């Protein structure tokens, strides 16, 4: 089901975080936002796992559920619970090291061992306190009463994150964004943790200093033997720091593997699309540019089957048609937009009439052409059968018969919206969940090499 690491420091199993959606004065639950919907992975000692995906796909929710800033809805987060710790499951099947069931005392110990770094470094620094005392405060909370000793430890740490011991007595506002992130890192390190979650730690920083902070993270991680969950929406950042990478889409992990493997041989179209967004130094070596249109759909009402099918450039064609892949994608998008009521021929008619000196010239033909253009449907589809259905649908639309248009367009279906993809194992812990990777390639050829 997922690549299992021997003696992992962290094992996440089928983790879910659903936010209830309530209505009315009785706050009746009417639905749920499935922000994280069953993710599983391991992190080995000293390893950095990247969690990557667009904004809104559930990365931060995963992080805060793992570190227990929020309560998970379901699943396990087993920390330090491998054989190494000599711990096995309780009689009832629960695990003694499951963070989601820790009591206050266990949680306090966990909060020492596991630290978090956020996108905005100011969020962990009190503007009214010197940065030194902000960092030293944690030592006091965890029982170090010797003030001089605290100061020594913090001064040393400030130097190790590339600052100066004298900065101890300065205030947060005296520092740049990059320096503040260094201080936040010192604060995360002061209790000598084993595990750090870094949620977009360089996204808010000036591009010119990102590389410095990433290389600092790399050095510190090695020096302290840290394990890390590194969250980013940016594949090029992930490549700098991560040993392995998990690609997340709409609450699920769609691909996971060694960073080199995933970058050189991506198996999921979503991963391909994220990779193609990375600027390349040599434009001639550029792979096909795949544009990810729109945004991540709402987790309240996620698409059926493969959740990525509404945006996937590789969405599988039904056997009845033979279209260019691009047109097939366009047809399905058109179908979905008409179905959701977003296509309004009347407003197109009015808009065209406004632009035109002779509004009477805006006939049905013009509307249909406009729709084809807007939805990238070509003047005529290559497949005559598909073209004839599309024509009927466009006629119906221009005529205001929306139901008829919907009925015509519902002829276009894809296996991707019906079947939930299972994980395919590509070896070496490289897994992906895409219908096209099914072993018996009943849905056409496997992903083409580029």
Evaluate whether 83 touches 7 at the Cβ level (below 8 Å).
yes
Told to check if 55 binds ligand ADP by CB under 6 A, we report yes
Q: Is 276 one of the binding residues for Mg ion (CB under 5 A)?
A: no
Q: Does residue 59 belong to the site contacting ligand ADP (CB under 6 A)? A: yes
Q: With binding defined as CB under 6 A, does residue 61 bind ligand ADP?
A: yes
Reduced DSSP (H G I as helix, E B as strand, rest coil) percent helix, strand, coil of the chain, to 5: 40, 15, 40
Q: Does 73 bind Mg ion (CB under 5 A)?
A: no
Phi, psi of 178 (to 5 degrees): -65, -40
- Residue 10, φ and ψ in degrees, nearest 5: -140, 130
- Residue 33 interacting partner from Mg ion, ligand ADP, none (CB closer than 5 to 8 Å by kind): ligand ADP
Distance CA 10, CA 3 (A): 13
Q: What is the rounded radius of gyration, in angstroms, for the C-alpha atoms of the chain?
A: 26
Site string for ligand ADP, 145-164 (x = CB under 6 A): --------------------
Are 41 and 66 spatial neighbours (Cβ–Cβ below 8 Å)? no
The option from Mg ion, ligand ADP, none interacting with 35 (CB < 5 to 8 A, set by class) reads: ligand ADP
Q: Indicate which of Mg ion, ligand ADP, none lies near residue 267 (CB less than 5 to 8 Å, by partner kind).
A: none
Rounded least distance, CB 296 to ligand ADP, Å: 7
Q: Considering only the stretches 39-47, 51-59, 128-136, 413-421, report the one whose residues sit in contact with ligand ADP under the rule CB under 6 A.
A: 51-59
Give me the residues paired with residue 353 across strands.
none
Using the contact rule CB under 5 A, the part of the chain among 51-59, 128-136, 216-224, 259-267 near Mg ion is 51-59
* Partner from Mg ion, ligand ADP, none binding residue 299, C-beta < 5-8 Å depending on class: ligand ADP
Comparing CA positions, the residue from 311, 226, 295 lying closest to residue 47 is 226
Query: Site map for ligand ADP, 288-317, x if CB under 6 A?
Result: -----------x------------------
CB 433 within 8 A of CB 252: yes
* Distance of alpha carbon 156 from alpha carbon 77, whole angstroms: 33
Q: Which of 58, 82, 172, 201 binds ligand ADP (CB under 6 A)?
A: 58
Q: At 11, which helix (H) or strand (E)?
A: strand 10-23
Please answer whether residues 183 and 163 qualify as being in contact, where contact means their C-beta atoms are separated by less than 8 angstroms: yes
Q: Among all chains, which residue has been given the structure tokens 């009439």?
A: 353
DSSP-based three-state secondary structure for 163: coil
CB of 58 to ligand ADP, least distance (A): 4
Which backbone phi and psi does 181 adopt, to 5 degrees?
Answer: -65, -35
Place of tokens 């260094």: 182
- SS3 label, residue 83: helix
189 binds, among Mg ion, ligand ADP, none (CB under 5 to 8 A by kind): none
- Determine if 232 is a binding residue for Mg ion (CB under 5 A): no
Q: Does 67 bind ligand ADP (CB under 6 A)?
A: no
Q: What is the DSSP string of 272-330?
A: HHHHHTS--SSGGGPPP-----S-PPPTTSPPSSSTTTTT-TTPPPPTT----HHHHHH
User: Pick from 11, 40, 48, 60: which binds Mg ion (CB under 5 A)?
Assistant: 60
Indicate the residue among 197 and 371 with the shorter CB distance to ligand ADP. Answer: 197
- Contact window for Mg ion (CB under 5 A) among 56-64, 110-118, 138-146, 260-268: 56-64
Q: CA–CA separation, 273 vs 292, rounded Å?
A: 6
- From the CB of 164, what's the least distance to ligand ADP, in Å? 34
**Smallest distance, ligand ADP to C-beta of residue 115, A:** 18
Pick from 10, 15, 49, 57: which binds ligand ADP (CB under 6 A)?
57
Binder of residue 303, out of Mg ion, ligand ADP, none (CB less than 5 to 8 A by kind)? none
Query: At closest approach, how far in Å is the CB of 248 from ligand ADP?
Result: 7
Q: Which residues bind ligand ADP (CB under 6 A)?
A: 19, 33, 35, 53, 55-61, 299
> Which stretches of the chain bind Mg ion, using CB under 5 A?
59-60
């Amino acid at each position: 089901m997922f690549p299992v690491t021997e003696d992992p420091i962290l094992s996440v199993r089928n983790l879910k975080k659903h936010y209830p959606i309530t209505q009315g004065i009785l706050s009746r639950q009417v639905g749920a936002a499935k922000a994280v919907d069953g993710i599983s992975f391991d992190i080995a000692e000293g390893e950095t796992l990247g969690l990557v995906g667009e904004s809104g796909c559930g990365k931060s929710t995963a992080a805060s559920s793992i570190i227990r800033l929020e309560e998970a809805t379901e699943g396990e987060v087993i920390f330090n619970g491998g054989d190494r710790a000599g711990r096995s499951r309780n009689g009832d099947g629960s695990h003694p090291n499951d963070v989601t069931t820790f009591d206050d005392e266990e949680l306090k110990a966990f909060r020492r061992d596991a630290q978090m770094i956020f996108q905005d470094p100011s969020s962990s620094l009190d503007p009214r306190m010197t940065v030194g005392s902000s960092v030293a405060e944690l030592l006091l909370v965890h029982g170090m009463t010797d003030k001089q000793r605290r100061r020594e430890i913090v001064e040393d740490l400030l130097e190790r994150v590339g600052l100066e011991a004298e900065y101890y007595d300065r205030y947060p506002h005296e520092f740049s964004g990059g320096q503040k992130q260094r201080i936040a890192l010192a604060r995360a390190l002061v209790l000598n943790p084993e595990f750090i979650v870094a949620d977009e730690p360089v996204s808010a920083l000036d591009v010119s200093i990102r590389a410095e902070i990433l290389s600092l993270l790399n050095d510190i991680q090695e020096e302290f033997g840290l394990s890390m969950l590194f969250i980013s929406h940016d594949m090029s950042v992930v490549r700098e720091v991560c040993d392995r990478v998990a690609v997340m889409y709409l609450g699920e992990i769609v691909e996971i593997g060694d960073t080199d493997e995933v970058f050189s041989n991506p198996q999921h179209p979503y991963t391909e699309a994220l990779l193609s967004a990375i600027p390349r130094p040599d434009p001639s070596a550029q792979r096909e540019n795949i544009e990810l249109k729109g945004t991540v759909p709402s987790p309240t009402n996620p698409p059926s089957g493969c959740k990525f099918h509404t945006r996937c450039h590789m969405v599988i064609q039904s056997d009845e048609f033979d279209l260019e892949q691009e047109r097939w994608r366009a047809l399905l998008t058109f179908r979905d937009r008409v179905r959701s009521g977003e296509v309004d021929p009347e407003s197109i008619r009015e808009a065209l009439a406004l632009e035109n000196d002779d509004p009477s010239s805006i006939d049905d033909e013009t509307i249909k052409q406009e729709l084809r253009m807007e939805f990238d449907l070509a003047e005529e589809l290559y497949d005559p059968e598909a073209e004839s259905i599309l024509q009927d649908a466009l006629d119906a639309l221009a005529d205001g018969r929306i139901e008829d248009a919907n009925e015509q367009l519902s002829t276009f279906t894809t296996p991707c919206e019906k079947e939930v993809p299972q994980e395919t194992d590509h070896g070496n812990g490289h897994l992906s969940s895409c219908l096209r990777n099914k072993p018996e390639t009943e849905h056409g050829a496997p992903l083409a090499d580029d």
